[in-house]
Amino acid sequence: MLEIRLEKASSKYLNQIESYRKEMLKSNSSFDGCSNLDKYDNINEWLAYCHKMENIETKQTGLVNADQLLLINGSKEVIGMANVRRKLNESLMLVGGHIGYSICPKYRNKGYGKKMLSLVLEYCKSIKITKVRISCYRDNIASKKIILANNGKYDSTIKIGDKEIERYWITMEEKVKVIIDCDTGSDDAIAVMMAILSEKIDLVGICTVAGNKALNFTTENTLAVVEALNSDVKVYAGCKESMVTKLLPSRRGKYTGFTGVKDEGGIEPKITYHHDHLPLPTPTIKAEKQNAVCWLVETLLEAKEKITMVITGPMTNLAMALRIEPKIADNIKEIVFMGG
């Protein structure tokens, strides 16, 4: 999936909005979340209407003020649109809710809908809407899956004409921003999985480091976990050697230990920790080109809120980052590490 972002509707994307409109009309798609774009032949006039609707003093009588957003990909195409209503009137409470959205036909069924709603929910949170009303037709299975994937909780169903509409609430808690720094073997893989699946964690990124295994193995194992969970979190490979000393031999390679439990023959079998490869398919995704240390410095310097560092391997990456730029410590909320 390409990098995507939300932007307010503006004349900067005049041609792209026109292309989006043509694609939607061509496929006879419903213009959900598009502020009646289908009714405007002139895109400048549509933009003027959107800007009026943003302001409570200039909005159309009988409607609530709303923000028109565009989903932009790395090629600067408009591939989706969303309309965020800043409050609910009686009609929107009944059906419609806070958010309407749509994806360009050629980009459907590729995961963009799920990611777009996630971004729109973050936007809602930024404008102090923390409990979001959203609805979909009962027979729109794809839309229902997107809502449920973004923690939508079913509320009720209403019938209008011959159509049944399901209504949901999405309540957003403040998530803890976390960066994981790991040398993924079996135990670190569990930590990565729990962080990705947690509703309370905003996983900013994952750094890998040489530790129980060489960097190429810890990075590949991490990527395998990320891909297995179909996550889009970025992975950054870091230091391949320690700063001060080497790990003890027992912490490297195929270290074996005893289970503490004897079998029927009275023998206590050995087990192997930290295999080179996890029992997962070889990942097709790649680590980012930027080194983990450089990414840590850049990310922590630019952070608008403090980030928790969860370190389950050697602390080499963070130590190097702090040597390069000690100021990053100001944006570290806490360091949670595993040792022993």
Active site residues: 183
What is the token pair recorded at 209?
Answer: 């480091």
Unique residue bearing structure tokens 């200039």: 58
DSSP-assigned states of every residue in 31-72: -TTSTTGGG-S-HHHHHHHHHHHHSTTTSPTTS--EEEEEEE
Cα(73)–Cα(274) distance, integer angstroms: 39
Cα(279)–Cα(302) distance, integer angstroms: 37
CA 173 and chain centroid, separation: 15
Say if residue 218 is exposed, middle or buried (CB neighbours under 10 Å; 0-12, 13-18, 19+).
buried
Phi, then psi, of 241 in degrees rounded to 5: -140, 160
Phi, then psi, of 188 in degrees rounded to 5: -65, -35
Cα(250)–Cα(204) distance, integer angstroms: 32
> Which is nearest to 2 in space by CA: 91, 99, 80, 55?
80
Q: Is residue 259 within 8 Å of 269, Cβ to Cβ? A: yes
